[in-house]
Structure formats: structure tokens, C-alpha cells
Structure 1
Amino acid sequence: MKVSSLLGKLLTERLTLVDVGAAGGLHPRWRPAEDRLRLIGFEPLDEMSDDGKTLCLPWALGSADGEAELKVTKRISMTSLLDPASDLLARFWDKPEHTQIVERIAVKTRRLDDLADEHGFAPEFIKIDVQGGELDVLQGASDCLKNSLLAAEIELSFLERYKGLTKFAEVVSFMEDQGFELVDLWRIKRYRHRNRAGVVNPGISKGLRAGRLAFCDALFLKRDAELVRMAEENRAQAGKIIAIALIYGKADLAARLHDLTRESLEPDLNRDLDRYFAKVSGRQFGKRGVHRALDYFASKF
């Protein structure tokens, strides 16, 4: 059983995905569920369009309506509404060149809450990658965070790469105040210090790497008790929450939610999920599973 087949059965209603900083299109992890998504993309350099499946809105998101200046950088992925922190970035290889501003473009900023009302959508998942302005976007989405959002993927910075950037701990604290829990981190990136010897990333210590933590992607989910309540009370919500867990590789959480909601799911879906979880649990290698077997044998030595 492929995940794409499971997602098609889990998502009995379209899941509304908001992508803030949508350059590059839909991330491949969402492709298996593409036919069951309503995608809302924000990219201030694009034209407004809506084909019934994807709505593209040409605004930058923030905490208030207004105007801002988009700093387009030599490395386009580092483009931001904030100015690069040039003094700090000068310490690291490549970053002064990557963040060289090649164009400044006036853009309008809008609040997500207002646009959701105007265009009639209720975000259930939000992905934010705006190079330092993540908290500003979230502050303009308080109603969505409270009423409809199930989960969020947010790029977070460990150091002030842009002037005025809100760092990791403050965004995590804000999300916790809104009823979300930090579940995972990945794509952890490091900046390497410039030096005369040309040292960049030598392998000199097992398990550790050169460089300073710069940024990462983070997954937030509604607080556990609320997530479970929503899944248990509503078949469509249960399917969406389990689907998000599978898309982000949280098969353990998906299996737990399936345990709690299986009575509301269709018999054929329960059967397919049981087969899938049996496969990924490693039971085909024996009762204990691979990880339990390794733990067992390790305990004997």
C-alpha cells in the first residue's frame, strides 16, 4: 500500500494548505496528496490567479496592512523584506555574496486573517519561508491559528541573519502561546566561518560538524490533547490529521491517531492502514521488529 493511496482515502475533503513565500511551487512531500489540496500561495512578485485548485495572491504577509520593500538578493532564496545583517554575515563563507542586494521592489503587505475572510478559505496547514519575517506573518494570522490551523512548517533562525529577525526561541514561545507544540526539526543548516587556511567542513569529530547553527525547518502541531479531541470528534479532521502525520514521516503519531479514531473510519481504510503500519513497524522481520531486536541483543552484551 502506497502512501499516496492512503492519502486519497484519508482526505475525504480538500485540505487547505497556505504556502507563504511560494517560489518554487509545491514541495515534493505534498505531491502524493496534490489532488486533495486547496493550495493558497503568497508570492508578491507573481500575478493574482485562481484555477479552482490553486489560488495565487500577490501580497507579502505581515502583522498589518501596509507597504514594504522587498530586497532581492543575488541568491534568490535569501530574498527578504528585511535587510541582511551584513556585519554578522561577513564572518562566514559565501554569505556576503549570497545576500548582495541586486534589486529593491515596493510591495504591499496584508494580514492572512483578512485575506482568508475576503477569499473564503480557512487554512489548515501553513508553510512559512520568508527569511526572517516569520513572526510577523504569524501575528497577522491569530484567528487562523486559533480556529482552523492544525499544523505549521516554519523556517526558524538561530542567529540574526537579517536585521530585526525574530529568532528561534521567540517563535517557538509564540506558537506555544497559540496552542501548538514543536514536534520536529530538520534541514538544519550551518554557516562556516571564513579563515585564512580555507577550513570549511573537515570531518575531525565523529557526530559533530564544523560551522554555527544558522537556520532550520520546524514542524508544529496543535497541542496533543486538542489534536486528539479534533480527530475523535470529526471523521474529516481525523483523516486530515493522520494524513499530515504521514506526509511528515510521523508514522508513530499516525498509528496512534488511527488507534483512537478507527471506529469512525471506513473498514477498507482501516484495513489498508493496518497493513501499512504493520509493514513500516518492521514486524515482517519478527515479533520484536528490527529496532526492538537490536535493543534486545545489545542488552545481552
Structure 2
Amino acid sequence: MDSAFTALVADALGTTPFRLLDVGCSGGLDPRWRAFGQRLQAIGIDASRAECARLAKAETLPGVEYVPVFVAGVAGRPVDLVRGQASPLIMAIRERLSFMRTREIRAARLARAEIEEQLRHNAWEMTELADSTKPVAVAELLASRGWTEFDYLKIDIDGSDFEVLQTLDGRLKHAGVLGVQLEVNFVGSDAPSEHAFHNTDRFMRKQGYELFRLDVRNYSSRALPARYVWPTPAETLTGRPFQGEAYYGRDIDAAGFDVPKLLKLAAIHEAWGVPDLAAELLLARRADVADSIDIDKALDLLAAAAQPDRTRKLDYRSYMRSFEADSPSFYRREGDYTLGERLAAAWAAFRFPRR
């Protein structure tokens, strides 16, 4: 993972921190943010008391705190762990998927497993948990830490994500939040309270944020399981779109951003794998940020990020000249297919021969 651009931004920030709120921090903070070094300040929240203790023991940065607590839409309202935090429909669909059958097969082993393996299987409920009768509201927790302003929000709590997100209605822009990363569901009802992508997207656009990246994860049915994408049972190579990750951010025309905010927003875009948006931001606000960061060096690093498959990467100016010349390098070569694509085409031709 190349973090050179984020490191360049971090140096330009001076003593200004990058503040991250991770609601559902099981597995640890995304390592991309650690490129901010000592400037990283983070609050990680998770319902697994054991996981928060493990993460705190391994943490090396003084500005990172892990809080073992359930979060909810209403502070103090007990969480029903038996019913689950997701809607009955989503829970019913979840039970039909192959990864749940694998969890059933492995249940006895998981009950005796170390916490790392339990969490790899998303079996967080098997770990030592926080008090489910005393959940907190995110806004109240932030106030108790004196966080009136922060840069990045992530929510991934396997159920009440949308309920928790709605407690921040009207607060995100006020708090200066630049990027929001949310787990979303592609199943569910049309109810306005459902934790489904269409409701999340409508809410975020109401808050003034644009969708800049959307990852879709497919899950197969237990009736005909497909191969898992990862070494642990989760998403599969084929299957219905069940869950995903949605990345929302402020756009370049957002007014009122000071230089540190502009630079941090560029770093967020690059970390999301959309370096084009970071370059667009730097070019649009060049007059504002030029005294704080080497624009040419920054653009060269972003151009390198746009060329992940090239051993010898072009600098920004050469890269743009190549595009303006309509270089063949911006196109896939005719007949340049992977083995998987060739096999899929052959299978399709066999199943559906031309008449």
C-alpha cells in the first residue's frame, strides 16, 4: 500500500491533526490513515470489549482511543442481541446465505477459537461484549471527548448503522466532516427506516455529500454455495448483491474550507482509490494550497497512483500528454483478455451457441 501522497499531506499539515471516528472498529483502524503518523487522532468504538482491549494493547499512537460500548439511536435503550439490530427481513435473507451455513458448520470450533479467528468470521457476538443495556449515542460520546470537529466517519456495526447515522442529521457538515464511509445493504424493504442503500444515499445527499465510490459484495445462497473471495467465509465470487461499502465526501465546490481541510480531503480521495478527484481538487484550489504543499510533487504522486499496473510510471505532465495524444495505453488491447474471461466466453459460447 503506497501512502506517499498521504505522508506528503501530513507533512504539510504541521501540527493540525487528522481526526477519525470509527464506529465498529473491530479488526483495527484502516492502515491507510496511519500515514498521518502522530497527527492521527482517532476514537474507535466497538461492542466487543475483548477486541477493544486487544487493540488498545497493540496501539502505538498516543492519540488513538478504543471505547468498548454499544451505540444506538437512543442512548440507554437496551440492545436486543437475540433479535439482532438489523430488520427482520434483512436477518431472514442473511440466514439464507452460504456464509451463514459455514458459520453453523464451524460453530463449535469458533466457540473455542481465539478472538482474532472469531472476528475474521464476523462472530463478534461470541467475544466478551460491552453492556448491551447501556448503549450510548455517538453525539454524546463525542461531546464527552471534546470533539466538536472531526474529519472522517466510518460506521460498520452489522445492523443499526442507518439508525445511528440518522442521529447525526444536520451535524456532519457543522462538525467539518470531509469523508463518510458506510456499510450499506442492497436488500431490504422500501420502509424509510430500513438500513438499505437507497435510504442511506438519500440521507447523505440531504447532508450535502456526494457518492465517490461504491463497492458491491456478492453473497451466494446456501442452496448452491459459490467460492469465497477471501480465506474466511464472507462474500463470494457470484451471488446476489447483499452488502457493500459506500464512500461519501464533500465536493470541490464546498465553500469555507481552510487549507488543512482541503489537503485532508485530497488525502481522503486518494486513500479511497480515486486519485483523479484528489488531482481535480488540488488543481481547482491551487491558489489556496500552493504555499503549503508542492503541487507538482503531489500531482506526480497522484499520477503514479493512477498507474497501478505500470512498472515505470509517468509523471503527471507526461501522463496528461499521453492522454491528450489519445495514447493506446489508455485502452485495453483488442483480444487482451484474462484466462478467466476467456473461459467465461468459451462457456457462454457452449451454452448459448449462435443460430
Does residue 273 of the first structure (1) align with residue 276 of the second (2)? no
1:182 is matched with which residue: 200, 211, 215?
211
2:135 is matched with which residue: 102, 109, 112?
109
Show the counterpart of 1:235.
259
In structure 2, C-alpha distance between the alignment counterparts of 1:117 and 1:22, rounded to whole Å: 19
Q: Residues 186-217 of structure 1, C-alpha deviation per residue, up to 9 Å, x if partnerless?
A: 2x22121233xx56259xxxxxx631001011
Shift of 1:22: 0.9
Does residue 67 of the first structure (1) align with residue 77 of the second (2)? yes
1:54 is matched with which residue: 54, 64, 75?
64
Contact 1:184 1:219 in 2 (8 A): yes
Shift of 1:139: 1.6
Report SS of the residue matched to 2:261: helix
In structure 2, C-alpha distance between the alignment counterparts of 1:23 and 1:248, rounded to whole Å: 20
- Residues 68 and 31 of structure 1: CA distance in aligned 2, closer, same or farther (over 3 Å): same
Report SS of the residue matched to 1:225: coil
Shift of 1:184: 0.8
82-91 or 124-133: which moved more? 82-91
In structure 1, C-alpha distance between the alignment counterparts of 2:134 and 2:277, rounded to whole Å: 39
102-111 or 53-62: which moved more? 102-111
Listed as ranges, the matches of 1:124-203 within 5 Å are: 124-148=151-175, 149-160=177-188, 165-186=194-215, 188-195=216-223, 198=224, 200=226
Report the count of equivalent residues: 279
133-142 or 270-279: which moved more? 270-279
In structure 2, C-alpha distance between the alignment counterparts of 1:235 and 1:296, rounded to whole Å: 33
Question: More strand per residue: 1 or 2?
Answer: 1
TM-score between both structures, scaled by the size of structure 2 = 0.67
Report SS of the residue matched to 1:142: coil
In structure 1, C-alpha distance between the alignment counterparts of 2:227 and 2:27, rounded to whole Å: 28
Does residue 37 of the first structure (1) align with residue 37 of the second (2)? no
In structure 2, C-alpha distance between the alignment counterparts of 1:52 and 1:7, rounded to whole Å: 20
Listed as ranges, the matches of 1:200-219 within 5 Å are: 200=226, 210-219=238-247
Shift of 1:267: 6.3
Listed as ranges, the matches of 1:238-257 within 5 Å are: 238-257=262-281
Show the counterpart of 1:258.
282
User: Which residue type is aligned with residue 65 of structure 2?
Assistant: L
CA RMSD after TM alignment: 3.7
Show the counterpart of 2:85.
81
1:222 is matched with which residue: 242, 250, 254?
250
User: Which residue type is aligned with residue 97 of structure 2?
Assistant: F
Report SS of the residue matched to 1:60: coil
Show the counterpart of 1:206.
none
Shift of 1:165: 4.9
